[in-house]
Structure 1
Amino acid sequence: MGKTKKGKPKPHKSNPTGLVSMRELEMDENGSTGGPINSIIEQLQSVNSDEKMCGLQALSTLCQREYNIQSIVDSEIVRIAAPMLVDHDLNVRHATAGALRNFSAVSVEICENLVEQDVFTPLLILLNQYVNNDWLPTKEKRSDTLDQKSDTFLQAVNIVWNLCESTSVALEYFNQSQLLQNFVRCLNYELFGMDIAISVGQCLLVISEDNAAAWKVLIDHNSDFQNLLKIDGDFQIVMLRTLVAGIISNVPALLMQNLKLVIEALSKTIEINHRTVLNEITSKLPLNETDGPQIEVIDEEMAEESEADASFRRFKEECPTELDNEIKNVAYLLSAQRISSEVLSNICTPEDDEGMDEDFDDKSDAESVHDYDVTQQAQQNGNQVGGDKIPVEIAEAIKAHQVVEKLWARAQLLPENVQQILAECEKNLWKRQNSLRVSSLLCLHNLCNCMTIEDLGGATAIYNVWLDLGQQIFQTHQDPATVEAATSLMRATLDHLKKSPELFEQVSENDLHLILDGVKDCEKSEVRANWLRMLGTLGCLLKENLVKKIVEFVLDATLKENDVWTLSESLDSFMDIFSDNDWNQIVDDLNVILKSRELEKILKTKMRQQKRELGDRYSSILTVRTNLTRFCKYLENQQKIYMRSKN
């Protein structure tokens, strides 16, 4: 392609398509005058449909490049493009919906901008033209893809999904539109096809979350949802069934009626062995990455693709091969299993005691003269898991369907060769598999926090999980999200093992140093907090020589910690070490009292400095500060008694 000059694009020699070239997009990045946006705006405002199409295709490409986003936001281009969703030319409508869908997928801020630019008005007009005319989709004869009008609807649903997920204003607009009833109708995959049913299901999953206005409509479709919970079939069916289970779980009245059916449906989804499926698909992938099909991947690599590559990708999407369809179906499975883990996690997470700490203000230090009660402190820290914190019927269903065991299977690493092939040849599946692993670990973490040690399989099984995760983290390179999820689960499992010190008799000094090195090398504060929490628990389980190393390390690490949340977590774990044993000799050898007083001052200072950033965490940190003051007083009293006994 040639350049697009300001003004009408030439229909022949220099630029037969009228599209803004990739070269000109790069010139805009380097600060050339004018840039493509003005040219695109002129094309969008043209009365000629072909020129509008050129502008829309250029906009779709433009918004895939991060450095162009702010320029798009600052311009009027979205406000100009949005009404074209209801253009008289169906080609223009389709191109507009595709461009705005791409743009809405960029970020929450972009979605907010789209709502401000009044995208919702033409978007709702467009959708009403479908639902008010008994429309049904059709398929193109030359392939199994949707016809253009149906695909426009699909793109519009995805825009609604992205906007409602990102901003409450969009959700309010949707609630007022009265479209929800018709959206539920589109879940009928036999009438509307799987592509539309799944996209609508994903949209409804977002819309139904914490949305009482939607609940009033959805509750009338209980029988429809029940039927969809019972369907069986390929991975598309699995995806739709899982989405319906998620929608039901968002509506309290529906979940109450269908709890067993929902957990059974989610259990069936996570029961499928994704490792076997991925082994099979990787054996079919071409080893040359450029030859491999890439389905629905929008990332930096795609943003930097050449025009020839982009053309080839669009062709593959419009005319998918049998392998393309297989990959798409595997992607559905991985997404369905991730959603299942997230829905189970939400179902099994007990409601927080909201408002408990709202009146916990910055009190005077006079409160700190109360003696420190280590037993009470341990209970406050939530380290004693006495019984199920979820309703009996949920716990029973989780056990009956072996959900814990299935989630653990989904959380396992893939064989190294499979990981490598996916990373090189099919990045979409590789990313989805990583997301599945993270969500499975987080769901297990939530289950671990709210179920008894017996329901989780017993102390030995829990210890083996802790050990396996530690080996995986230290033996293989993991991305930060996976490490955070894994260490969160390790921390939760260790809390269950505080009454099983016999399991840790074989822990050596070398084993301990692996953990200590893990903390030293960790840059993410949430992961450091998890490691430091685990050290606090291990300090209650290991022999005195190892406990001394832990106390010394935690004190030194805490003195160097800058993040106040991690600092408070570290101090909380440090106090845990003394919940079952005063360790008087260690206190004396390491000058623990003096360092604890110094840490008390540091915590107070950092709380003042970072108070505005703490949000909901402030009250928890304030509790740690109060307990630390009492702890220091307690240690001083105990040490006086100890020293008198020595003399």
Structure 2
Amino acid sequence: MNAVKEADLEEEELGEESCPAAELLEKLQSPSADVREFGCASISRVVQQSQTIPGFLQRDAVRRLGPMLLDSSLAVRETATGALRNLSACGGQEVCEDMVKHDVMTPLTALLRECCAGFESTVVLVKEQKNPVEDVANEAVHLLWNLCESSSQALSQFNKAGLLDVVVQCLERHPHNVELAISAAHCLHTVTEDNSELLCSMSTAALGALENVLLSSQPSMAHTLLRTLAAGTLWNMKGSLPAARQAQALSAVVATLSKCLDLDSGTLVLELRQAEEDRHRNAPAAPDAGDQAAGEPAVTEMDEEEEAPQQKRNGKAVNIDNDFSDLLPRGKEELREATALLTAQQTSLEIIVNMCCSDDPSDDEWEEESSSDESDMCPDSLCDGVSNLMSPLCLSAEVHGALINHSIPEKVLKKTEFPRPQATDVCHQDPSWRGLIKKMQRVQSRALTCFHSILSSMDAESLGGAAALQGAAQHLSTLVFGAAEIPKDEEFLEAVISAMRSLLQMIAFKNIPQCMTPQQLMSLSEAATRCDVVSVRVNAVAILGITGSTLAKEKGTAETLQMIGNALLQVATRDADLVVNGEALDALLDVFADGDEAEKAAQNIQLLPALKAFHPVFKAKIRKEGKGKYNPQQLCVLDNIKVTRATSSTESIHLSKVIE
């Protein structure tokens, strides 16, 4: 479009440092539809640079763009909705809440209803051509999804306005417009999570639409993502399904997730990248900016690497992936397919985590890992003593059976492997594909956290017994120790150490031989000490405790126990975080509680004098920092720690009453 070309030229003239908010917003008042479209398209591009967003908000951009959603020109509607969509995607939670506060939901609701009414009435002259009303609807549904994911007020208005049926209508366009259907499926997956008000009024039409999507058989990665999102929505709706249909729905959900995880993302990324090169080689000329839809800005490499803003999902804090893949320009079909595949696999893993957790929203690991470094306290909370592995398993027999029958644990473990080097190499070669590397790494991290959840909700026999657990432990050890240095990526490190802790705990409980060498233990402890994420340090300390407790039962292990004891003492006395101190003290109690080897090691490292000296320091630290800095659960942990002398005498130091 001419408006898009002009917007590109204007951006170049303005330069990176200026914010043309006033001038562009002024164009929205023009009597010319072309000028209004130009203004909206320009805003759509400029707000991708997050530093420009305050300038637009200060000039009341939301109120001025809102009426454009119902403009007499269809092109203006599309570009205006695209501008608001980009503003919501790039601005984060605060911007989304500000948009809702400025009543963007009223024109958005009216626009969505008009779009759905126009799906069948709009004449499309060329069979392959998309209905232009559907393009507007796609922008609108995506904006609605962003708002509902970040604002509880938007979700409340979604419920009151009865927008479920409208979004379902968009989902039903999937046979010929998968892009619109995916936006609708993302929206449904978001709004059905922990939304009892909506689920109570769930229509049979919505259920039927989801089942039709699950029964579709198109092989594209876009349709794989669509089916995965439909499966997640159906799982969210499980409580509102008729009893007679629950077993069938569960089977369909798990089968869909299983097929998604079966796909080899490394091979498919390579094939798609090659397909793009072949297409470009055979094409007469590359498309110019005019072939790009006005509402679809090209994403720069800088956009892909921006830090993810903290947002809320249904009013709860959560880190939202700053994924701009939905803003990719048209003409990137292969990249869209690759992105859809990785998004589908990440979503599948997240759904399995939800299936393994209880129905209490506070137990949802994807919510808990948001802003709190202590996220791994659930499900392996220190307050629970030995962890949920010792408590009744939380999976129902039906869910447990479905996951086992579809070999979900094995498929999840397979996804914990590092991305294939050949796939990451070809992505490095093209700036527009580089964002996929982070997505491949995120799938691995999600798989590790998912495996952790599986370990916490299934017994050893269900997971294949001793041989399978030892194999899994060896695999996790290879991930951590396979390279010359332990990986420093915090997301990976947090996920792999969490999974390793749960697995070693299960192995120890079953008296299965451990697989980590003392040297590996020490290197893991050292790497964790340098990590800023508290849960990484907590889990590394727990691993030392689990392994030390096992070794204390064996002969000739005093020297290794000394290494472990010294490492734990260092953490207990020097780490800046009280929770880590407490975990280290708790681990010392476990390691040196009993046994000749433990007693010998404790004497050699002068454990009791060290603990006596640390006792008043720890007590003062809790009194000074505890109540202001730590939550009740963490204080419960610290309150119940007892550091006991690891000798045959009865002398002990009790820290159970240090919090008054």
* Mean CA deviation greater in 390-399 or 417-426: 417-426
Q: In structure 2, how many angstroms separate the alpha carbons of the residues matched to 1:574 and 1:408?
A: 31
> Do residues 623 (structure 1) and 636 (structure 2) align?
yes
Shift of the alpha carbon at 1:608?
A: 4.5
Shift of 1:496: 0.5
Shift of 1:494: 0.8
| Corresponding residue number in structure 2 for 1:253 | 240
Report the residue type matching 2:356 in the other structure. C
Aligned to 1:327: 335
Q: Secondary structure at the match of 2:202?
A: helix
Name the structure 1 match of 2:591: 577
User: Does structure 2 retain, via aligned residues, the 8 Å contact 1:205–1:243?
Assistant: yes
Contact 2:174 2:180 in 1 (8 A): no
Superimposed CA distance per residue, residues 535-560 of structure 1 (whole angstroms, 9 cap, x where no aligned partner): 11111123222122111111112222
**1:452 paired to 2:459:** yes
Aligned CA distance change for structure 1 residues 231 and 625 (closer, same or farther; 3 Å)? same
Which residue among 123, 141, 150 is the counterpart of 2:108? Answer: 123
- CA shift at 1:568, angstroms? 3.2
Counterpart Cα distance in 2 of 1:190 and 1:402: 29
Choose from 93, 98, 113 the match for 1:108: 93
Question: How do 1:148-547 residues align onto structure 2 when only pairs under 5 Å count?
Answer: 148-189=132-173, 193-220=177-204, 221-234=206-219, 235-251=221-237, 252-254=239-241, 256-257=246-247, 258-284=249-275, 286=277, 298=299, 300-302=301-303, 317-318=329-330, 320=331, 324-351=332-359, 380-382=385-387, 384-385=389-390, 388-425=393-430, 426-476=433-483, 477=487, 479-499=489-509, 503-504=513-514, 507-542=516-551, 543-547=557-561
Distance 1:485 1:611 in 2: 29
**Aligned equivalents of 1:401, 1:538: Cα separation in 2:** 32
Conserved in 2, the CA contact under 8 Å of 1:194 and 1:236? yes
Instruction: Give the AA of the match of 1:534.
Output: I
Partner of 1:70: 54
Query: Does the residue aligned with 1:389 lie in a helix, a strand or coil?
Result: coil
Change (3 A) 1:193 1:461: same
Which residue of structure 2 aligns with residue 97 of structure 1? 81
Q: Tell me, in whole angstroms, the C-alpha distance in 1 between the residues paired with 2:327 and 2:584.
A: 55
Cα separation, 2, equivalents of 1:116 and 1:211? 21
Residue 26 of structure 2 aligns to a residue in which SS?
helix
Write the letter of the residue equivalent to 1:59. I
Per mean C-alpha deviation after superposition, the further-off stretch among 555-564 and 149-158 is 555-564
Q: Percent identity?
A: 25
- How many angstroms does 1:256 deviate by? 3.7
Q: What's 1:568 paired with?
A: 582
What is the root-mean-square deviation of aligned Cα atoms in Å? 3.6
Q: 1:26 aligns with which of 13, 16, 40?
A: 16
Distance 1:429 1:589, change over 3 A: same
Q: Which runs of 5+ in 2 are unaligned?
A: 281-285, 307-324, 364-381, 552-556, 653-660
Q: What amino acid is the match of 2:564?
A: I
User: Is the contact made by 1:604 and 1:625 (CA closer than 8 Å) also made in structure 2?
Assistant: no
In 1, the alpha carbon distance for the partners of 2:558 and 2:510 equals 16
Q: Aligned-pair distance for 1:272?
A: 2.0
Shift of 1:71: 2.3
Distance verdict in 2 for CA 1:51–1:352, change over 3 Å: closer
How far, CA to CA, are the matches of 2:230 and 2:16 in structure 1? 44
Q: Which amino acid aligns with 2:605?
A: L
For residues 229 and 257 of structure 2, the distance between their equivalents in structure 1, rounded to whole angstroms, comes to 9
Structure 2 equivalent of residue 596 of structure 1: 611
Distance 1:99 1:613, change over 3 A: farther
Structure 1 unaligned regions, length at least 5: 1-10, 29-34, 306-312, 356-376, 643-647
- The 8 Å contact of residues 385 and 452 in structure 1, kept in 2 or not, is answered as no
Give the Cα–Cα distance (whole angstroms) in 2 for the partners of residues 563 and 95 of structure 1.
Answer: 49
In 2: Cα distance, 1:350 partner to 1:315 partner:
35
Q: In the TM superposition, what is the alpha-carbon distance from 1:203 to its structure 2 partner?
A: 0.5
Q: What amino acid is aligned across from residue 513 of structure 1 in structure 2?
A: M
The answer to whether the Cα contact below 8 Å between 1:85 and 1:93 also exists between their aligned partners in 2 is yes
Q: CA deviation at 1:527?
A: 1.5
Tell me the distance in 2 between the aligned counterparts of 1:45 and 1:277.
47
Normalising by structure 1, we get a TM-score of 0.81
**1:417-462, Cα deviation, whole Å (9 max, x unpaired):** 2212223321243233222222211111101011101111223322
| Corresponding residue SS for 1:92 | helix
Between structure 1 and structure 2, the one with the greater Rg is 1
Q: Which amino acid aligns with 2:236?
A: N
Work out whether residues 383 and 496 of structure 1, in 8 Å CA contact, stay in contact via their aligned partners in 2: no
Paired with 1:278 and 1:69, the residues of 2 have a C-alpha distance of 34
Distance across 1 between alignment mates of 2:626 and 2:573: 17
Q: Give yes or no for contact 2:266–2:419 (8 Å, CA) kept in 1.
A: yes
Aligned amino acid, residue 24 of structure 1: L
Does the 8 Å contact 1:296/1:428 carry over to 2?
no
For 2:197 and 2:160, how far apart are their aligned partners in 1? Answer: 9
The alpha carbon displacement at 1:18 in A equals: 9.7
